[in-house]
Amino acid sequence: MKPTTKDQGSGFLIHEGFILTNAHVVSDSRMLLVNKLSSPNPFLADVVAIAHDSDLALLKVRDPDFYKNLTPLELGGVPELQSRVRAYGYPVGGHELSRTEGVVSRIEFGTYIHPGIDSHLLIQTDSAINPGNSGGPVTQSGQAIGVAFQSNLSLNDVGYFIPVPLIKRFLVDIKDGIYDGVPEIGIETSSLINQHHRKYLGLPENSGGILVERIVPFSSAEGVLQSGDVLTKIEDLHIDAAGMANYVEQQVAFYIEAENRQIGDSLKLQVWRNGNFENLTLKLKAPPFGEEMRNSYDKRPEYLIFGGLVFIALNRNYIHSPGNLLPPLAYEHWYREVERPNTRRQQVVILTHVLPASVNSGYTNLHNFIVSSLNHEPVNSLAHLDQMLKKMPRETVHVVFESKWRSLPLVLNFTESLEQHNLILKRYGIEESSYIVNKNH
Amino acid sequence: MLKKYKLLYVAVLYLFIHILITPLQLKAEPPDIKPWFNQAVLLKTYQQSYDWRIPWEKGEITTQTGMGLVVSLPKSPKSLSSETLQSKKLYLMTTAELVANATLIEATRKDIRLPFQAKLMRMDFAANLALIEINDAKFWNELKPLEIFPVKSSVNYESKSIYSLNIKSPDEWDFESGTIERMAVGHREKSDAWIPTLKISGLSKSRHGYPVLQDNKTVGMILDSGRSGAKAMPAGMLLEFLQRSGSDKFQSLTHRGFRWRRPPQGSITDYFGIPEDKSGILISQVLPHGTGSDVLKAGDYLTRIGKWRLTHDGKINHPNWGLALYDLLFLDQYKAGDSVELSVIRKRKPVILHTKVTTYGNDGHLVPLKRVGYSPRYIIQGGFLFQELTIDYLSIWGKNWRTRAPLRLRLFLEQNKTVMIPGKDNNEKKSVLNKKNPKHQSRVVLVTQVIPDAINIGYQNLSNAVVLKINDQSIHSLIDVSEAFLKPKNEFHRIDFLPGSERMSVVLPEEKLEESNQRIKNNYRIPKMFSL
């Protein structure tokens, strides 16, 4: 077991005894303690709901006494640009509440660092937001207008908070006790600022619109939108040539209409297709990419050991660990589905390293071997590989792992691999030969 | 008294043990410096490489110094004996690094302080060797060609001791001593070539082109030196370079055409059909070029190269160097064009493969290796700068480009190893052929940047985008780009990029393109809108 670490953040009471904070404040926590302002006594709390994609979490303190003399903050709306805001929290720990003031300097879409891949509306302020502020409220006129969550260390006085529409979406989403996630349209678009491009597409003058260049397979847009469509309107919002739409008096990316809705909701669209405007409706779905594309939290890593070879399903956490950002892994993780959508696999199985034993002699330095097939049968996932190995006939002589990235296969003797299995686990102090949550491949 | 004798006894014993465990550090007398005034000259080069970011411009001018060794070319191209190096015309031999992309090469004799202008005659960038010539007869007056002798490789320390020149100032020439540590086959990353080098310790001042003397005879030339010691090209390779330089058709050094690994052990050797009684190496990849690439297959178990038996470590019993990597065979025992038999076990059967020793080359690389002396190729249309992906281009990301250049671009380097991106085109040989223009090698064409102009407003953030099609024609080279721009569709040129690029398509109006090109040429003072 690695040494445990402790971290601190902020949070605020919203209603019915719930505390709102950031997902990254409570992720991977084994024990959660909440302190009231100026009180030395910690209270045990539990995570009621967590949304890693939008970096939000809802907590509940076990002891009802905690809530005595506390008043929930009301949620406000989206602030105006240049309006004054206050950020509250406990930057760098500390026992006393810190309060900083600033103005709203930008409202835009940006990447949420916690999931790593998701992009949502965020509000930029010059009010100081430092580590420890995370989860604290940003207020205006006595109402919470956001949750402080990240800053840009390369810039001075740039902090960000999660706006209320995304918070409200989260609170509605978890009402059934399950967090479904922020829906996504599933298209890649390019601006049509270039007048020649607009003329090429035959677009009427001053019609606005953004070019749909690619439909993500299995996404909300599949079967509704087409590559080459020009998306001109989403619900009642007109989309300009840069893909921006007017939202609460601000120009923000048109995706805003999708991200404030729930999975299963409908979305009305207008497109310019084959020289005509067409009205379409799509049903919103969750992003089609697997969880392996996001940073993973609160999950025990899955693995499989066979003959001392350690396999995992390629994921964002692994590829971003030192030395693993290699072109073949990057291709399998990111580029394959974009460039060759029909070659989509459930998971990419890789051999991360080898636990040296006589059965795998000669392969002990091997790592990051992408497993394409096992005894010439394609491998679709870690669970699939596990099943294939388990179903392998006893009379099998060789276990052949092939990779499309290497000319030579990795070969083990099947009988020796089985014979040495327990010995290898014991030698390296490993209790289980595999941990795979979903056994159905 | 007893104590005094005891001390003396201990001192004698210590001295005896010290003599026993310390190798005899006998160093030969330093050679006579005077003959070197007529056999070596100082070189100063002014180098200016192209700026691959702005391919019509050149980068900063840098200077380097080194030495040129006076040599002549062999009379008979078949003979490698140094005795045949008696042709009258003299040249200076030095390193390719010293003269690559040189705009001016100055050679200065010890006795004439006036520098003479030299020009490049031959360069083998892969091997880091170059030959330069000077047309002024005065320069060569009383200069004498070096005799080059094989390196002695016996194990005693005397023969390992060497000298090299130490030029303290143009007037003050001296020697410094060093030791040959070993002969190694090293990978020269700049050219992706394997070359034999003498690893030498003890030399601190030696630079490009300095001689290595063993028993007062020239046995090598320093390629470079650093904290970890110096690397020198051994005599055999220098003589071979001179021989190749004398022939009409200059060829680069010979090279293997495969990668290998130690054979697996245990019961899985039978999967690969590896016999227990025969040592050898397992061919793990067949490269797109080099010796054996035409006959070998991944999975072959290579046991012999010609008469040379291979160990499991890929070593052969070299006549001069004992157990040494088999690469040395291609580098000093075989010449380009020689026939060679490769003994392999393939599918459990012994097979003799016949092939010819081939030279190091660029053919087959999807991403061409570093080239010197060539201006970058490019085409500008409507501000879109089209360039082919090369190692030179990747080098704009600096010394650590292998980790800093964009991942998607680095991914194409995998194809230099012949391992193709998985998919339906997964064919090692076919993928490097340009299907549209079979005479040209397939290349990756990029829009490296967009030079701002009214015609490309809205596209100007595009960079390093891989071009798939122009006007519906697949693009595999800059030639394809120039041809595709001849066929606009419906008065527009449409360019499609690899999905995942900043955007996937752009268009340029045909009627405004020429006007835009002229405007860009004038605004940005670009001398030529294309260089092919």
pLDDT in tens, A198-220: 999 999 988 899 999 999 988 99
- Which amino acid makes up residue B349? K
CB atoms within 10 A of CB A195: 16
Tell the residue number behind the tokens 């409908």, with chain if given: A266
Distance CA B299, CA B273 (A): 9
Following DSSP, what letter does each residue of B356-382 receive, concatenated? E--B---TT-SS----SS-PPPEEEET
Residue A194: closest CA among chain B residues belongs to which residue?
B458
pLDDT at B517 over 50: yes
Q: What H or E segment, with its residue span, contains residue A423?
A: helix A414-427
Highest mean pLDDT, choosing among A176-185, B22-31, B142-151: A176-185
The answer to whether B266 contacts A361, with C-beta atoms less than 8 Å apart, is yes
User: Are residues A85 and A137 in contact, defined by beta-carbon separation less than 8 angstroms?
Assistant: no
Least confident stretch, A110-124, A296-310, B331-345: B331-345
pLDDT at B297 over 50: yes
A355 touches chain B (CB under 8 A): no
Rounded to an integer, what is the distance from CA A260 to the centroid of its chain?
17
Direct distance between the N- and C-terminal alpha carbons of chain A, in angstroms, rounded to an integer:
30
- Which amino acid makes up residue A184? E
Using DSSP's 3-state secondary structure scheme, residue A206 falls into coil
pLDDT at A431 over 70: yes
**Which chain B residues are closer than 8 Å to A211 by Cβ?**
505
Residue among B265, B407, B456 whose CB faces A330 most closely: B407
* Alpha helix segments (H runs only) across A180-231: 195-200
Which positions 210-249 of A are in contact with B (Cβ < 8 Å)? Answer: 211, 213-214, 241
**Which chain A residues are closer than 8 Å to B272 by Cβ?**
411
The answer to whether A416 contacts B271, with C-beta atoms less than 8 Å apart, is no
Distance CA A302, CA A311 (A): 9
Residue A326: closest CA among chain B residues belongs to which residue?
B407
A82 touches chain B (CB under 8 A): no
User: Pick from A337, A291, A263: which is nearest to B500 by CA?
Assistant: A337
Residues of A forming the active site: 24, 55, 134
A340 touches chain B (CB under 8 A): yes
Distance CA A241, CA B392 (A): 37
Best probe of the A interface among B258, B260, B267, by most A CBs < 10 A, is B267
B423 touches chain A (CB under 8 A): yes
DSSP3 helix / strand / coil % (chain A, rounded to 5): 20, 35, 50
- Which amino acid makes up residue A232? T
Residue among B264, B411, B426 whose CB faces A331 most closely: B411
Per-residue confidence at B140, pLDDT binned at 50, 70, 90? very high
Phi/psi at B130 (5° precision) = -150, 155
Query: What's the pLDDT at B80?
Result: 45
Least confident stretch, A393-407, B378-392, B449-463: A393-407
The answer to whether B457 contacts A213, with C-beta atoms less than 8 Å apart, is no
Q: What is the CA radius of gyration of chain B?
A: 28
Residue among A200, A241, A398 whose CB faces B492 most closely: A200
The answer to whether A331 contacts B421, with C-beta atoms less than 8 Å apart, is yes
Please give the structure tokens belonging to residue B489.
């569709």
Distance CA B469, CA B445 (A): 10
Per-residue confidence at A255, pLDDT binned at 50, 70, 90? very high
The answer to whether A405 contacts B414, with C-beta atoms less than 8 Å apart, is yes
A344 touches chain B (CB under 8 A): no
The answer to whether A412 contacts B268, with C-beta atoms less than 8 Å apart, is yes
Please tell me the distance in Å from B361's CA to the nearest CA on chain A.
22
pLDDT at A14 over 80: yes
Query: What's the pLDDT at B120?
Result: 93
pLDDT at B159 over 80: no
Q: What is the CA radius of gyration of chain A?
A: 25
Query: What's the pLDDT at B138?
Result: 93
* Alpha helix segments (H runs only) across A38-98: none
Calculate the alpha carbon distances from A133 to A7, A50, A170 in Å. Answer: 12, 18, 20
Residue B426: closest CA among chain A residues belongs to which residue?
A404
The answer to whether B509 contacts A199, with C-beta atoms less than 8 Å apart, is yes
Give the residue with greater pLDDT, A421 vs B153: A421
Distance CA B176, CA B182 (A): 19
Query: What's the pLDDT at A84?
Result: 96
**Which chain B residues are closer than 8 Å to A408 by Cβ?**
261, 282, 284-285, 298-299
The answer to whether B298 contacts A200, with C-beta atoms less than 8 Å apart, is no
Which positions 468-527 of B are in contact with A (Cβ < 8 Å)? Answer: 490, 492, 494, 498-500, 503-509, 512
Rounded to an integer, what is the distance from CA A261 to the centroid of its chain?
17
Distance CA A334, CA A351 (A): 18
Distance CA B438, CA B302 (A): 33
For chains A and B, count residue pairs whose Cβ atoms are closer than 8 Å.
115
Backbone CA torsion sign across A280, A283, A288, A291? positive
Q: Which residues contact A237 (CB under 8 A, 6 or more apart)?
A: A245, A246, A247, A254, A256, A257
Vertex B323: Cα angle to B319 and B326 (nearest 5): 85
Best probe of the B interface among A198, A340, A408, A415, by most B CBs < 10 A, is A408
Residue A329: closest CA among chain B residues belongs to which residue?
B411
Distance CA B282, CA B371 (A): 32
The answer to whether A325 contacts B411, with C-beta atoms less than 8 Å apart, is no
The answer to whether A408 contacts B422, with C-beta atoms less than 8 Å apart, is no
User: Are residues A410 and A401 in contact, defined by beta-carbon separation less than 8 angstroms?
Assistant: yes
Distance CA A164, CA A76 (A): 7
Partnered with residue A56 across adjacent β-strands are A51
Partnered with residue B41 across adjacent β-strands are B68
Residue among A331, A335, A411 whose CB faces B264 most closely: A411
pLDDT at B431 over 50: no
Q: Which residues contact B307 (CB under 8 A, 6 or more apart)?
A: none
User: Are residues A184 and A219 in contact, defined by beta-carbon separation less than 8 angstroms?
Assistant: yes
A400 touches chain B (CB under 8 A): yes
Per-residue confidence at B245, pLDDT binned at 50, 70, 90? confident
Q: Which residues contact B450 (CB under 8 A, 6 or more apart)?
A: B383, B384, B385, B456, B459, B460, B461, B462, B463
Average pLDDT over residues B484-494: 96
Distance CA A297, CA A116 (A): 12
Query: What's the pLDDT at A342?
Result: 65
Distance CA A71, CA B372 (A): 74
Each residue's pLDDT tens digit, A322-371: 888 888 999 888 888 788 766 666 789 999 999 999 999 888 888 999 99
Give the residue with greater pLDDT, B115 vs B249: B115
Least confident stretch, B102-106, B220-224, B267-271: B267-271
Per DSSP bridges, beta strands B102-108 and A159-163 are unpaired
Please tell me the distance in Å from A410's CA to the nearest CA on chain B.
10
Backbone CA torsion sign across B76, B79, B83, B85? positive
- Which amino acid makes up residue A161? F
Rounded to an integer, what is the distance from CA A373 to the centroid of its chain?
29
The overall average pLDDT reported for chain A is: 92
User: Are residues B299 and A402 in contact, defined by beta-carbon separation less than 8 angstroms?
Assistant: no
Distance CA A93, CA A83 (A): 28
The answer to whether A328 contacts B414, with C-beta atoms less than 8 Å apart, is yes
A331 touches chain B (CB under 8 A): yes
A197 touches chain B (CB under 8 A): yes
Give the residue with greater pLDDT, A312 vs A40: A312
Highest mean pLDDT, choosing among A27-36, A203-212, A221-230: A221-230
Give the residue with greater pLDDT, B197 vs A197: A197
Average pLDDT over residues B418-430: 34
Please give the structure tokens belonging to residue B208.
């490009």
Q: Which DSSP state fits A292?
A: G
**Which chain B residues are closer than 8 Å to A190 by Cβ?**
503-505
Query: What's the pLDDT at B415?
Result: 67
Tell the residue number behind the tokens 């110096």, with chain if given: B230
Query: What's the pLDDT at B81?
Result: 47
User: Pick from A253, A219, A218: which is nearest to A234 by CA?
Assistant: A253
Query: What's the pLDDT at B430?
Result: 35
pLDDT at B24 over 50: no
Which positions 119-158 of A are in contact with B (Cβ < 8 Å)? Answer: none
Please tell me the distance in Å from A412's CA to the nearest CA on chain B.
6
Best probe of the A interface among B409, B421, B444, by most A CBs < 10 A, is B421
Whole-model pTM over 0.80: yes
User: Pick from A234, A231, A250, A246: which is nearest to A190 by CA?
Assistant: A231
Following DSSP, what letter does each residue of A101-148 receive, concatenated? EEEEEEEEEEE-TTTSS-EEEEEEESS---TT-TT-EEEETTEEEEEE
The answer to whether A190 contacts B505, with C-beta atoms less than 8 Å apart, is yes
